[in-house]
Amino acid sequence: MNIVFVGQTGVPFLNRASDTRLLYFANALSKKNKVFILNRLPFLCKSKTSEALLDEKVEVINLFNEKKTNAFLSVIYYLISYPIEFFFLLKLNKKQKIDAIHLYSWHFHNHLFYFIIAKIISAKVCKQYVEYSSEVKRQGVIAVYHKINGYFVDFHGHRFVDGILPISNYIENHVRILSPKMPMLKVPPICDFDYFDTIKSEEANRNPYLLYCGSISYIDVISTIIDSFTKYKQIYKDLNLSLFLVITGDLNVLKPLVQHDEKILIFHHLDYDHLIQLYKNAEILLIPLRNTTQDVARFPNKICEYTASKGLILTTNVGEVPFYFENQKNALIIDDFTVDSIIEQINYAFQNKDKLKNIKEAAYISGRENFDIYSYINKLDMFFRKICNLFS
C-alpha cells in the first residue's frame, strides 16, 4: 500500500508530541508499506535526530523550502498551500496510487479537504484521534473558533473518514456512540524501545532532580508541579533537589513562576537524545493528569517515553492510566490532582529507594508490552488493509 501522512506541518522535525507520534506511526507502517509524509507549509527544521530516526522507506515531502516568514507571508503561504497540495496529491496519485490518507489534524476544514481529495482519487481516509477537541481550553478571540471547530471535529468529523485510530477508551467509546460500525484500532502512545535502550546516560553525577516534560498550554499542571516542588523543599530542606521543566511553547508565561528559584531549570528545544538522557537520570518523571474531560480523553505521549527510559513515573489515577499502571507496582499513582498528593508520592520515593528498582523494571516491562512500536506493526498494517479493502 501507499499511505500519505497529511494535516500537520514540520513533521517530524519540530519536537512536538505530535511529531514523535507521527514519526513512530510512519516507521511502523513503513515496515510493510510505502509511506509519504507531506508537509504543506514552510517551517524551520529543528531536530536532526528525528530525521535520523525516520525509517529509510519513509519519504518526507516539503511543498515549500524551509524559510522564515512574517505574519503576512504566513497568511499567503496558508492560502496558496491548499491548491498546491491538492494538485500535488493528484499528481502523486498518478505516479503511485495512493491507497490511504492518514490524517492528523484538529481542524474540521481539513477533514472536509482531504475527504474531497480521497473521493477524487479513490483513496480512504484514516484519522488519528488523540484529543477531545471541544474540551481543550483556549484563551482570547481564537477560543471562539476553537470551541466551534472542536464541536464539529468531535461530533461530525467521523462522517468524513473511513477509519479512526483513537488514543483512549474515552474517545473510542465516544465514536462508537456516534458511529457504531466505524472501523477503529486503539493505539496508545508508542515509541521505539530498542532505540531508547541505545541511549546511554551521561549525567550520572548531577544532583537529584524531578522532571516534567510537556506543553506550556498545560500551565495549570505546571503551576501545580512547581507549587508541589516548592512546598516539598520547604519540608525537606536537607535534600539538594532540583526541578527540570522541559517545555514547548511560549516560555514568557512560565518565567514569572520560576524566576525566584534557582533550583527550577527550564529546557527548550532539546535534542531528542539529550531529552532521553534527562529522562534516564531523573529521580521521578512527572506526568500528573487532571480529572477533566480533556485529560480523561487524552493519553500523553510522554508516558511511553518515560517507560522506555526505565524511569519512575508519577501520574494520576484518571483516564487511561488505570488500564496500564498500578500504584507502587509499576508507577506512583495519586488519586487526586493536588499539591499534597504529589508531595506524598515524592516523599514515598525518597523514603523507599529499595523498592524503586522493581517499580521501574515493572514499568519498562509494561511499556514493552503496550507502548513499543513493534507491538503494532502487524496490527496497523492489517487495519489499513481492512479499511482499504486490500488483503495479501
Taking only the tens place, the pLDDT of each residue in 342-389 is: 999 999 999 999 999 999 999 999 999 999 999 999 999 999 999 998
Whether residues 60 and 205 share a domain: the answer is no
- Is residue 164 located within the same domain as residue 72? yes
Judge if 26 and 154 occupy the same domain.
yes
Confidence of residue 204 (pLDDT cuts 50, 70, 90): low
Helix (H, G, I), strand (E, B) or coil at 56: coil
Residue from 168, 162, 218, 164 nearest 188 by CA: 168
325 Cβ contact partners less than 8 Å away, ≥ 6 residues apart: 313, 315, 331, 333, 363, 366
Within 8 A by CB and 6+ apart from 358, the residues are: none
Q: Which set of grid coordinates corresponds to residue 47?
A: 531536530
Distance CA 318, CA 98 (A): 39
Domain membership flag for residue 392: no
State the cell numbers at 139: 484563551
Residue 268 CA to residue 243 CA, distance in Å, equals: 14
Kindly compute the dihedral angle of the four CA atoms of residues 236, 266, 330, 234, in this order, to the nearest 10 degrees: 10
Indicate whether 180 belongs to any domain.
yes
pLDDT tens digits for range 331-342 = 999 989 999 999
DSSP state of 375: G
Compute the average pLDDT of residues 85-101.
Answer: 97
The total of structural domains in the chain comes to 2
Whether the pLDDT of residue 137 is over 90: the answer is: no
Give the pLDDT mean for 86-96: 97
- Same domain, yes or no, for 237 and 353? yes
Shared domain for 148 and 294, answered yes or no, is no
131 plus 227 within the same structural domain: no
Q: How confident is the model at residue 229 (pLDDT cuts 50, 70, 90)?
A: very high
For residue 50, which of 18, 12, 21 has the smallest C-alpha distance?
A: 12
Residue 7 is assigned to a structural domain of this protein: yes
- Strand 163-166 vs strand 209-215: parallel, antiparallel, or unpaired? unpaired
The pLDDT assigned to 114 comes to 98
Record the pTM: 0.94
- Cβ count within 10 A of residue 60: 16
Is the domain of 35 the same as that of 147? yes
| 263 belongs to a structural domain | yes
Predicted confidence (pLDDT) per residue in 158-171, tens digit: 999 999 999 999 99
Paired with 37 in beta bridges are 5, 60
Domain that holds residue 296: 194-370
Domain assignment of residue 201, yes or no: yes
Same domain flag for 149 and 78: yes
Regarding whether 365 and 221 lie in a shared domain, the answer is yes
Model pLDDT, residue 237: 73
Looking at residue 391, what is its pLDDT? 63
The string of pLDDT tens digits covering residues 243-301 is 999 998 888 888 888 877 889 999 988 888 899 999 999 999 999 999 999 999 999 99
In a domain, 11, yes or no: yes
At residue 197, the pLDDT reads: 95
Does residue 224 carry a pLDDT above 70? yes
**Per-residue confidence (pLDDT) for residue 212, from 0 to 100:** 97
Residue 11: is its pLDDT beyond 80? Answer: yes
Contacts of 144 (CB under 8 A, 6+ apart): none
Q: Would you state the pLDDT for residue 71? A: 81
* Residue 74 pLDDT exceeds 90: no
Residue 221 covered by a domain = yes
Q: Determine, yes or no, domain membership for 268.
A: yes
Residue 50: per-residue pLDDT: 72
Instruction: Please indicate, yes or no, whether residues 132 and 40 belong to a single structural domain of this protein.
Output: yes
- The confidence band for 234, taking pLDDT boundaries of 50, 70 and 90, is confident
Kindly state whether residues 139 and 227 are assigned to the same domain. no
Mean pLDDT of the chain: 92
Q: Are 128 and 208 part of one and the same domain?
A: no
CATH number, position 118: 3.40.50.2000
